[in-house]
Structure 1
Amino acid sequence: MSGISAARVWQKCGYSVTIYEASDQIGGQWNMTYPGVRLQNTAPQYQFSDFPWPFTPDRHPTGEQVLKYMHAAVAAYGIEVKLNHKVTQMVKQDIGWQLTFENGMQGDFAYVMIATGQYPGGDKKHKPRFENIDSYRGEVVTNINSKEVFKDKHVAVVGFGKTALDFAAWSGAVAQSTQHIFRTPRWTIPDHLLGIDYTRPFFSRFGSDMMPSWCHSSLIQNLLHKKLTFVVKSFWGFIATLFQYQHRKDAKLGTLDPSVLDLVFPPKSQFVPDLRSASAVAPNHYYEYVAHQRIIPYRGEVASFFEHGLILSDGQKIEADMVCICCGNEAPTYGFLPETYAQYLRVHGGPSLYRHQIDPRIPDLGFAGYNHGFMHIALCEMGTLWQIAAHQKDLQLPSETEMLASAQRVSQWKIAHSSYESTFNIAVSTRYQQHLDILLQDLGISQWRKLPNVPAEIFARYDPTDYKGVVEEYLAKSAKRKAKGQVKHVMPVDA
């Protein structure tokens, strides 16, 4: 999805653009993920700004529906896509890059964008090397090919991210037993909150302005987070209480003591830090199955395996026929880049990029989707337009030293204020609105996409269609600046 978003923006700006895909079909992670997976986001918040869904998808589209939409978009846009073209080497030239592909072909390009995604699919998952794992007689998996693999088995699921929660919920429906092991529970998002679509509070400026961030894109945000912090704290405390209420309601407790869910509820102090890229919408029935003991939760750490299951750090043994290890993703390694450049990107948390777009030490190279967040496609489109402006020298960037320092400040803020995730550097997560605003400010485009309707600007949900026409606005303003011999300077803030 990131690659298509980026290609469309380059195309609209008058460039000849080609997508090179390593596999035999488009779709990236959507071709490699587990069956039954659904988009965490809702369909209106996950579409190209100028190409609405040409069919009616589910509220949370299935993987198959997302792939169908991507194929339709590529056809409608007329983007050239070359399949079975895995990049094996990139060589820097005086202008641009020479790419070599696994099939032996080569090509020269003025600019390259890496759009390989934040989440490796298939078996490219982080799999810790647990002690005595070779002695285990059961099956260890990081991915599945059907929900039926859990049927009538004794299953242990390790982790508390989206994949772990999906696997635990699916297993809870059909397995003989399901044990869910995690070190720390995370806050999950109810699909509906008191009957209200969760995207309404999270995708309006009223909600996003309340989000603590490494950057603030308006006077109101600065006021809230510097002078009125008690308002922000009270707001998120109230939302956390609503989340707990909704999860308990969804658990169908009846006469059960609410404390049956205590093991899977984190403290309220952890609420805002958990609103990160890996934030998961609660799967259907997860809390219900925990409450009614179809899923047995354990707070603990896996110390080792034995022939029939797992041993936790407190010595407790958990027997299982199948162990699902859901411990996140490995950061990309960029083996196709010259080592001189690849070493800059192989850092803790993934590449630390200026504006989440570029490493200033690597010329003519950018990244699509490394500003991953709640409105991913709009983030990709606006990030690509920012890169085009920089590539065309229409945008005056700071010095290399300052850009690296800015990227480092953002990285350190995330470490200090967000719950850990392995690829924290390549996401803006719930700070999507602040990030989008500053990208537009850099480009000289109004961030207020719903004005002059003030109530809508504050309380209505933003979605990618609000950014339809931004490319055309930029091109018109850029032409005027060039006619006057002017360039636009980036805003003196981190983003």
Structure 2
Amino acid sequence: MDPKFSNNDMVYVVDFVILCLGRFKDVPNIPQFPARKGPEAFRGKAMHSMEYAAMDHDEAASFVKGKKVVIVGFGKTGLDIARECSSANGPEHPCTIVYRRDHWKLPDWAPWGIPFAYFYGNRFSELLVHKPGEGFLLSVLATLLSPLRWGVSKIVESYIKKKLPLAKFDMVPQHSISKDTRSCLILYMPDSDNFFEAVEQKCIKLKKSQSFSFYENGIFIDEDNTQIEADLVIFATGFRGEDKLKHIFESSTFRQLIAGSPRVSLYRECIHPRIPQLAVIGFSESLSDIYTSEMRAKWVAALLEGAFKLPSIYEMQKDVARWDEYMKQSTGEYYYRSSIGGLEIWYNDQLCRDMGINPLRKNGLLANLFEPYGPMDYYVKP
């Protein structure tokens, strides 16, 4: 590494750069509002969940105590904040969750005693779906098994609707659980009874709306012209990881290459075909981000050690296009999330083959086909 100086800034000339920026931090995603209908019209405080999360538990509890709180967004962060607000204030000052659409929630990981991973986390489950670069025989098999795929989805959905009072609170999603799995939008609720008890006791209120605006004393729901009074509005609306990644580059060409479309399209979800000296770790989502990121780190390390070479730009672009098309077809409007949910094994198989590692990590055909795969399956002893 050769340090150089330019305009009092230190510049390092390197052979390879690895970005481990984190997708879910730093650049908050705040909805856009018409003029004079955004937070500036609100007498109370509007903040992003990032600011709230920076407080310790006691500080956060004291901060929301006695306040009428509106939480925008119903993902994991929104759910956690709502629980904390309801615990601090009870029904005297109920918090309201405003969100656009319902997604599937899991009460536990064992429908009828069968862990959830047996439905969506083994090789057999991936035989039921079309995969990027799957070949003719696997494509035919996925088509033939599509009724079974539909049946599995309905079985799991029936179990969830039996265990959770989704219908009672108008929370049944209009799409399949398979779509939420592929989009990494499933929400695990280990203490779901406490949440729905809080909803039943009016400690938490739920309000679905495609849009809203601010007024002096709270927020205004555009669809039914209702007002929700608030002292505090917390945006649990995620982050703009694409912007953070894009703006790290001074070069406008690199900015356009890396984040010029709804999805950050990378070869093996790591390397842009046109910027092969740059790896991005931890950007594409999976159902288990930590171990997927670890697999990518191992793959990049093997690349730098010379265990394999990248294919041509053309071949990498073809592979990226296949994954892009899969994500468009399987996740629809959530294509931008860059999710490999539901295909982690297929994806890890590609990484293993590149590194010269046997992708079949279990002993025996039946175990490899039906047992769930997890982090320990890819652990290699030094």
TM-score by length of 2: 0.82
Residue in 2 aligned with 1:185? 102
- What's the C-alpha RMSD, in Å, of the aligned pairs? 3.2
Task: State the SS of the aligned residue for 1:428.
Answer: coil
Higher relative contact order structure (alpha carbons within 8 Å, sequence separation ≥ 6):
2
| Amino acid corresponding to residue 439 of structure 1 in structure 2 | L
Residue in 1 aligned with 2:317? 404
Residue in 2 aligned with 1:266? 173
Q: Is the 8 A contact 1:345 1:351 kept in 2?
A: yes
| Amino acid corresponding to residue 188 of structure 2 in structure 1 | V
Q: Is the 8 A contact 2:44 2:230 kept in 1?
A: yes
User: Within the alignment, does 1:280 sit opposite 2:187 as a pair?
Assistant: yes
User: Within the alignment, does 1:360 sit opposite 2:268 as a pair?
Assistant: no
Deviation by residue 1:292-337 (Cα, 9 ceiling, x = unmatched): 4322211113331101111112211111111111222112243342
| Amino acid corresponding to residue 80 of structure 2 in structure 1 | D
| Amino acid corresponding to residue 226 of structure 2 in structure 1 | Q
| Amino acid corresponding to residue 125 of structure 1 in structure 2 | P
Q: Following the alignment from structure 2 to structure 1, what is the Cα–Cα distance between the partners of residues 3 and 277?
A: 11
Query: Matches of residues 102-181 of structure 1 in structure 2 within 5 Å?
Result: 104-121=9-26, 124-131=27-34, 132-133=37-38, 134-143=40-49, 144=52, 145=55, 146=57, 147-148=60-61, 149-175=63-89, 176-181=93-98
Residue in 2 aligned with 1:463? 374
User: Within the alignment, does 1:234 sit opposite 2:148 as a pair?
Assistant: no
Q: Is the 8 A contact 2:126 2:342 kept in 1?
A: no
Q: Is the 8 A contact 1:261 1:291 kept in 2?
A: no
User: Within the alignment, does 1:379 sit opposite 2:379 as a pair?
Assistant: no
Residue in 1 aligned with 2:202? 293
The change in CA–CA distance for 1:232 and 1:356 in structure 2 (over 3 A counts) is: same
User: Within the alignment, does 1:417 sit opposite 2:330 as a pair?
Assistant: yes
The change in CA–CA distance for 1:202 and 1:350 in structure 2 (over 3 A counts) is: same
Cα deviation for residue 160 of structure 1 reads 2.1
User: Within the alignment, does 1:318 sit opposite 2:225 as a pair?
Assistant: no
Cα deviation for residue 377 of structure 1 reads 3.5
Q: Following the alignment from structure 1 to structure 2, what is the Cα–Cα distance between the partners of residues 343 and 355?
A: 19
| Amino acid corresponding to residue 266 of structure 1 in structure 2 | P
User: Within the alignment, does 1:439 sit opposite 2:356 as a pair?
Assistant: no
The change in CA–CA distance for 1:356 and 1:418 in structure 2 (over 3 A counts) is: same
Deviation by residue 1:349-400 (Cα, 9 ceiling, x = unmatched): 3421112111121131111123431233332233234334545665354432
Cα deviation for residue 109 of structure 1 reads 2.8
Q: Following the alignment from structure 2 to structure 1, what is the Cα–Cα distance between the partners of residues 179 and 5?
A: 42
Cα deviation for residue 105 of structure 1 reads 4.5
Q: Following the alignment from structure 1 to structure 2, what is the Cα–Cα distance between the partners of residues 440 and 116?
A: 24
Q: Following the alignment from structure 1 to structure 2, what is the Cα–Cα distance between the partners of residues 135 and 152?
A: 22
Q: Following the alignment from structure 2 to structure 1, what is the Cα–Cα distance between the partners of residues 153 and 207?
A: 27
Cα deviation for residue 270 of structure 1 reads 3.1
User: Within the alignment, does 1:245 sit opposite 2:152 as a pair?
Assistant: no
Q: Is the 8 A contact 1:204 1:461 kept in 2?
A: yes
Cα deviation for residue 223 of structure 1 reads 5.6
Cα deviation for residue 265 of structure 1 reads 1.8
Task: State the SS of the aligned residue for 1:417.
Answer: helix
Residue in 1 aligned with 2:239? 329
Q: Following the alignment from structure 2 to structure 1, what is the Cα–Cα distance between the partners of residues 216 and 65?
A: 21
Query: Matches of residues 54-65 of structure 1 in structure 2 within 5 Å?
Result: none
TM-score by length of 1: 0.65
Q: Is the 8 A contact 1:97 1:111 kept in 2?
A: no
The change in CA–CA distance for 1:242 and 1:206 in structure 2 (over 3 A counts) is: farther
The change in CA–CA distance for 1:445 and 1:347 in structure 2 (over 3 A counts) is: same
Q: Following the alignment from structure 1 to structure 2, what is the Cα–Cα distance between the partners of residues 423 and 320?
A: 32
Q: Is the 8 A contact 2:94 2:202 kept in 1?
A: no
Q: Is the 8 A contact 2:68 2:229 kept in 1?
A: yes
Q: Following the alignment from structure 1 to structure 2, what is the Cα–Cα distance between the partners of residues 300 and 435?
A: 36
| Amino acid corresponding to residue 296 of structure 1 in structure 2 | K
Deviation by residue 1:410-440 (Cα, 9 ceiling, x = unmatched): 2233233215448512x32332111111222
The change in CA–CA distance for 1:97 and 1:456 in structure 2 (over 3 A counts) is: farther
Q: Following the alignment from structure 1 to structure 2, what is the Cα–Cα distance between the partners of residues 441 and 448?
A: 10
Cα deviation for residue 467 of structure 1 reads 1.3
Q: Is the 8 A contact 2:73 2:100 kept in 1?
A: yes
User: Which of these residues, 363, 374, 378, is aligned with residue 451 of structure 1?
Assistant: 363
The change in CA–CA distance for 1:461 and 1:377 in structure 2 (over 3 A counts) is: same
| Amino acid corresponding to residue 349 of structure 1 in structure 2 | P
Q: Which runs of 5+ in 2 are unaligned?
A: none
Deviation by residue 1:149-197 (Cα, 9 ceiling, x = unmatched): 3322211111122111222222233331121211111112223434758
| Amino acid corresponding to residue 23 of structure 2 in structure 1 | Q
Q: Is the 8 A contact 2:180 2:186 kept in 1?
A: yes
Q: Is the 8 A contact 1:353 1:359 kept in 2?
A: yes
Cα deviation for residue 115 of structure 1 reads 0.8
Q: Is the 8 A contact 1:112 1:366 kept in 2?
A: yes
